[in-house]
């Protein structure tokens, strides 16, 4: 048996090694390796993770801010209940994101809500999940994150790898769920397939702020992942439903692009309704995808919808799929 003095000395001997071990743990950075195909997509988007000052922060209301960076816009809520974010960008930006959250008065991330499973909104789960953040997403998004998937963005394809167990959502929902966090009633809505089959529109009731994920993309183009079940008709339905929970004063956070408002959502919806009408007309006239793109019927909507080539391509796929299903019924 060790006597008291020996115990004291043993403690002195072990303590420095223990502290050294702790500090080395702290510094150890997990390496995230991406395939050549994935890196090619980062290059296509001109995302250089070695750059400084990638992130920009905008305060919206009280304790809610947005972090712009590479990939989807991050909404941050800080306060007495802790820190919650909507979307997680990339693991390479982990420390930068945490630094910005600290400046906003927050700490480690308690909750992450993913608006959907795409890498540019959820890849950061791989850094934050293993350090204890609880991840929430639509049930279909969890299924997609569990498996390898190919995202056909038309101009490029992104092979998204299955996520590790600790990076997956542990809380999922089907139609709607509610959280009460930092004095906000936060409602999560899924209005059926739209940009993907697992979209979540997040509404902060008291602050009157809504995060659309990629159901609203006002950065460069509308993208519908119809290769994985996304749907133009579903985008229209989602936007109509979202407008019902909003009002003219609602602050709108798009999946990509600057903070906007009710009017933009309305115009974007109207643009998609026209897109659907024009494309159905042309498909019914037996025009091929190439012919439709050549005679682009929605060129005049590019001010609100961005470049329309990818939109036409993916909408054509989703509308012709819908028609095949209707014929089979
Ligand atoms: Zn997306």
Residuewise pLDDT in 10s, the chain (329 residues) = 455 555 556 555 565 555 555 544 444 456 788 999 999 999 999 999 999 899 999 999 999 999 999 999 999 999 999 999 999 999 999 999 999 999 999 999 999 999 999 999 999 999 999 999 999 999 999 999 999 999 999 989 999 999 999 999 999 999 999 999 999 999 999 999 999 999 999 999 999 999 999 999 999 899 999 999 999 999 999 999 999 999 999 999 999 999 999 999 999 999 999 999 999 999 999 999 999 999 999 999 999 999 999 999 999 999 998 888 878 87
**CATH 3.60.15.10 assigned to 36-262:** yes
Q: What's the CA-to-centroid distance between 121 and ligand 1, angstroms?
A: 7
What is the predicted pLDDT for the residue at 235?
98
Q: What's the CA-to-centroid distance between 287 and ligand 1, angstroms?
A: 28
Q: What's the CA-to-centroid distance between 1 and ligand 1, angstroms?
A: 63
Rounded-to-integer distance, Cα 283 and Cα 286, Å: 5
Q: What's the CA-to-centroid distance between 20 and ligand 1, angstroms?
A: 42
Bridge partners for 65 per DSSP: 59, 76
59 Cβ neighbours under 8 A, 6+ residues apart? 65, 104
Q: What's the CA-to-centroid distance between 246 and ligand 1, angstroms?
A: 22
Q: What's the CA-to-centroid distance between 327 and ligand 1, angstroms?
A: 29
Bridge partners for 260 per DSSP: 252
What is the predicted pLDDT for the residue at 328?
81
Q: What's the CA-to-centroid distance between 214 and ligand 1, angstroms?
A: 5
Q: What's the CA-to-centroid distance between 154 and ligand 1, angstroms?
A: 13
Q: What's the CA-to-centroid distance between 318 and ligand 1, angstroms?
A: 16
Q: What's the CA-to-centroid distance between 274 and ligand 1, angstroms?
A: 22
Q: What's the CA-to-centroid distance between 14 and ligand 1, angstroms?
A: 50
Q: What's the CA-to-centroid distance between 48 and ligand 1, angstroms?
A: 19
Q: What's the CA-to-centroid distance between 109 and ligand 1, angstroms?
A: 22
- CA-based nearest residue to 80, from 107, 54, 46, 57: 107
Q: What's the CA-to-centroid distance between 8 and ligand 1, angstroms?
A: 58
The DSSP-derived string for 189-244 is E--SSSSSSS--EEEETTTTEEE-GGGSB-SSB----GGGT--HHHHHHHHHHHHH
Give the pTM. Answer: 0.90
- CA-based nearest residue to 231, from 310, 140, 142, 316: 316
Q: What's the CA-to-centroid distance between 268 and ligand 1, angstroms?
A: 17
What is the predicted pLDDT for the residue at 327?
80
User: Quick check: 106 and 73 in contact, CB under 8 A?
Assistant: no
What is the predicted pLDDT for the residue at 27?
44
Q: What's the CA-to-centroid distance between 68 and ligand 1, angstroms?
A: 15
Q: What's the CA-to-centroid distance between 244 and ligand 1, angstroms?
A: 23
Q: What's the CA-to-centroid distance between 28 and ligand 1, angstroms?
A: 31
Q: What's the CA-to-centroid distance between 114 and ligand 1, angstroms?
A: 11
Rounded-to-integer distance, Cα 117 and Cα 142, Å: 7
What is the predicted pLDDT for the residue at 23?
47
Q: What's the CA-to-centroid distance between 102 and ligand 1, angstroms?
A: 27
Q: What's the CA-to-centroid distance between 234 and ligand 1, angstroms?
A: 15
Q: What's the CA-to-centroid distance between 199 and ligand 1, angstroms?
A: 9
The DSSP-derived string for 7-46 is HHHHHHHHHHHHHHHHHHHHHPPPP----HHHHHHHHHTT
What is the predicted pLDDT for the residue at 88?
98
Q: What's the CA-to-centroid distance between 6 and ligand 1, angstroms?
A: 61
How do beta strands 209-211 and 201-204 pair? antiparallel
């Amino acid at each position: 048996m060790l006597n008291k003095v020996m115990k004291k000395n043993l403690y002195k001997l072990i303590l420095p090694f223990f502290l050294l071990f702790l500090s080395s743990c702290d510094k150890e950075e997990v390496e995230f390796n991406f395939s050549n195909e994935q890196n090619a997509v980062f290059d296509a988007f001109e995302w250089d993770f070695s750059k400084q000052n990638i992130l920009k922060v905008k305060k919206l209301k009280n304790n809610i801010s947005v972090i712009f960076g590479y990939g989807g816009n991050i909404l941050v809520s800080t306060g007495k209940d802790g820190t919650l974010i909507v979307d997680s960008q990339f693991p390479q930006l982990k420390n930068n994101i945490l630094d910005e959250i600290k400046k906003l008065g927050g700490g480690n991330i308690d909750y992450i809500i993913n608006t959907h499973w795409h890498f540019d909104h959820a890849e950061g789960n791989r850094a934050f999940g293993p350090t204890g953040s609880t991840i929430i997403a639509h049930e279909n998004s969890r299924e997609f994150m569990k498996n390898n998937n190919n995202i056909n963005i038309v101009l490029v394809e992104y092979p998204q790898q299955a996520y590790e167990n600790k990076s997956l959502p542990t809380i999922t929902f089907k139609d709607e769920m509610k959280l009460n966090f930092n004095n906000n009633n936060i409602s999560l809505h899924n209005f059926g397939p739209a940009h993907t089959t697992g979209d979540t529109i997040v509404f902060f009731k008291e602050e009157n702020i809504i995060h659309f994920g990629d159901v609203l993309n006002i950065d460069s183009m509308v993208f519908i992942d119809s290769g994985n079940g996304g749907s133009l008709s579903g985008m229209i339905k989602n936007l109509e439903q979202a407008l019902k929970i909003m009002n003219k004063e609602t602050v709108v956070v798009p999946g990509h692009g600057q903070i906007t408002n009710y009017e933009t959502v309305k115009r974007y919806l109207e643009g998609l309704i026209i897109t659907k009408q024009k494309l159905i007309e042309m498909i019914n006239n037996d025009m091929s995808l190439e012919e439709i793109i050549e005679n682009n019927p929605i060129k005049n909507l590019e001010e609100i919808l961005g470049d329309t080539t990818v939109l036409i391509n993916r909408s054509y796929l989703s509308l012709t799929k819908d028609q095949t299903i209707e014929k089979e019924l």
